[in-house]
Amino acid sequence: MTAGRPPRSRPANPWEWLTRDPLISTERDVATADDVAVVQEFFADRLPASWTAWVTECGAPSGYGRSLLGLGRRTTDVPADAPEDVLDVLMLLRLTEPGFGIDLLPLEVLPDRQLHCLSVGPAGRGTVVLVDLDRPELRVRAASNLRNFLSQWQQDLRAIAMAVTEYHGHPDNTEADTLLRPDEWSTRRLCSQDVVVALLQTRHNRDTNEHDVAVCATATLSSFAEGAPARWAMTTILVESYQAGGSLAVNFVRRTRIAGESGYHPFRIESRRQSVPLALAEWARSRGIALAERSGRWDHETGERLLVAATRLPDSLRALLPSSGVAPAAVCAAVATQTWPALDAEVVLRRACAPAAVLTGAIPVTDRLRYLADQQVVRGAMMLSTLHRHLQRGDQPSASDDDDTVRSIEVDFGVARNLPGRDATAAPVAFSAVDGGPVAADWPVLAGPAPSAHRRLVVRTLAVDADLLAVVGPAALRECHLGEVLLVPADASARHGDLTDFLAAADRAGICVLAAPDFTTTMDVAIARRLDRARMTRQ
């Protein structure tokens, strides 16, 4: 301790930051030590001290339609219309819900028979989890401790208030119905079907060339993996920042009215720094990225690391980014917006001469030879992606791309090292099922033996027109090994009679020639649209 400096005194009420929030109303008739002791009996004196301090200081906070369960005083003259408290709910759950864990203390009752509960058992002691009474065995962590949960709960209320009224409070209630000027702010919900996953309010700040976030509230859902809503919100914010043409630096601000002589001005606003939302900070921490929550921002380098971590990339593509020569943000934004599917982006990075130009749509159409070379790379990528989706569906031809029942198929680009002077677009790619089962493509076989169902399907692509296929096909066959599949466009099936020599050579070599479902003309139209979209992705 420094000499002459008095010791710091702890605040009398550690929850003062919650009780003084004007958006939150608290029950002043708080519990006593005797009331807490009644609850303690249900958990063999294992209640965390943080919960005890909270219910004896804060009562039952509520605001904007959400309320937490407090602990009322256990007296004999309790009014009949008194709200349920934590003890009432706890006893009701233990009597009527046999699957409700005996280590759970309810904190908040939610719609659809869900609750936020505090875990007081040995496993996960002190964490806050989301519990679905219809699936009591499933628990989704909502916060690492009670204080973080309450802080996130408070941030969510502020976010809802900002999104609904576009301002926080009016001491004089002047012009309370007048909304703030949008100043190019965009407010929207991120939804999965009819479920709201996150609420955002953002803008691109032209003065700083950075992104500002005024509202970021994420839900905890039992139907989503832990941290999935935060990852989705993080991806959306950072992709927006990239598309706006600025850096990936993000500032979290609170929009407030500017006071004037006659009260708060209805149109003049200012942005004040607020903390990084706890849900985003915890998600980043779980990925090994530390955020300074109180600073209310992160810089471009941190934003790039967050975007790489948040975007759903295959491990092979993620490992390729540092040595690809392409800005990771460009790849992640292309994949996140589905301008380039992840497999297509990886093929472009591995096989294109100028992958950055392809992914950003900067291929010069006037340079015909270069355009055709890159076009062939993208054709091959699209054929491999189509095959990948086909193998994922397996024997379920009606399954959609986002169906949870599709098989997980791994793609391996490291089958053989591409030698100097060899055509990189014809390098082999292996497909195998994660479940270890056999994989096979039931597309039309033009020559050679039909690909049998093996655990590993090795494929080479020859994405050229039928006229060129007759010329370059024999050379491609010489590169293939026995048991591999040569995948060609549907043109070959339509021009079968013009490829007699090539197909006969494939039969003699024992190489399977498989026809993909897409024609080169169809793929070229799709490629042109994709390049146009990529060109306009970043403003």
Q: CATH 3.40.1580.10 in the chain: give the residue spans.
A: 16-74+84-149
Q: Is 267's pLDDT higher than 70?
A: no
Tens of pLDDT, residue by residue over 19-75, are 777 778 776 667 778 888 888 888 876 788 888 888 888 778 888 778 888 887 666
Q: Is 333's pLDDT higher than 90?
A: yes
Provide the token pair at 401: 């791309």
Provide the token pair at 267: 């149109």
pLDDT value of residue 31: 77
Phi, psi dihedrals of residue 460, rounded to the nearest 5°? -120, 145
Most confident range (mean pLDDT) of 74-83, 311-320, 467-476 is 311-320
If you average pLDDT over residues 464-489, what whole number do you get?
Answer: 88
Amino acid letter for position 11: P
Q: Is 483's pLDDT higher than 70?
A: yes
If you average pLDDT over residues 432-440, what whole number do you get?
Answer: 86
pLDDT value of residue 211: 92
**Nearest to residue 464, comparing CAs of 503, 492, 442?**
492
**Nearest to residue 372, comparing CAs of 383, 363, 361, 362?**
363
The residue count of the chain comes to 539
Residues 187/213, Cβ–Cβ less than 8 Å: no
- Half-sphere exposure in the Cβ direction for 16 (13 Å, CA): 5
Output DSSP code: residue 261: T
If you average pLDDT over residues 271-292, what whole number do you get?
Answer: 88
**Other CB atoms closer than 10 Å to residue 66's CB: what's the count?**
15
pTM of the entire structure? Answer: 0.81
Lowest model confidence (mean pLDDT) among 188-202, 334-348, 405-419: 405-419
The residue ranking higher by pLDDT, 221 or 241, is 241
Lowest model confidence (mean pLDDT) among 67-81, 263-277, 367-381: 263-277
Q: CATH 3.40.630 in the chain: give the residue spans.
A: 166-172+184-310
Tens of pLDDT, residue by residue over 226-261, are 889 999 999 999 999 999 888 999 999 887 655 555
- 16-74+84-149 under CATH 2.70.98.90, yes or no: no
Q: Give bridge partners of residue 513 from the DSSP assignment.
A: 447, 486
Q: Is 1's pLDDT higher than 50?
A: no
Q: Is 403's pLDDT higher than 50?
A: no
The residue ranking higher by pLDDT, 76 or 136, is 136
pLDDT value of residue 270: 58
CATH code, residues 166-172+184-310: 3.40.630
pLDDT value of residue 196: 87
Q: Is 471's pLDDT higher than 60?
A: yes
Q: Angle at Cα 305 formed by Cα 272 and Cα 223, nearest 5°?
A: 85
pLDDT value of residue 265: 47
Q: Give bridge partners of residue 431 from the DSSP assignment.
A: 411, 457
Tens of pLDDT, residue by residue over 136-177, are 888 888 888 898 998 888 888 888 777 776 544 444 444 444
Q: Is 291's pLDDT higher than 60?
A: yes
CA torsion 151-153-157-158 (nearest 10°) is 20
Residue with tokens 């200012």: 270
d(CA 401, CA 393): 8
- Average of per-residue pLDDT values in the chain: 82
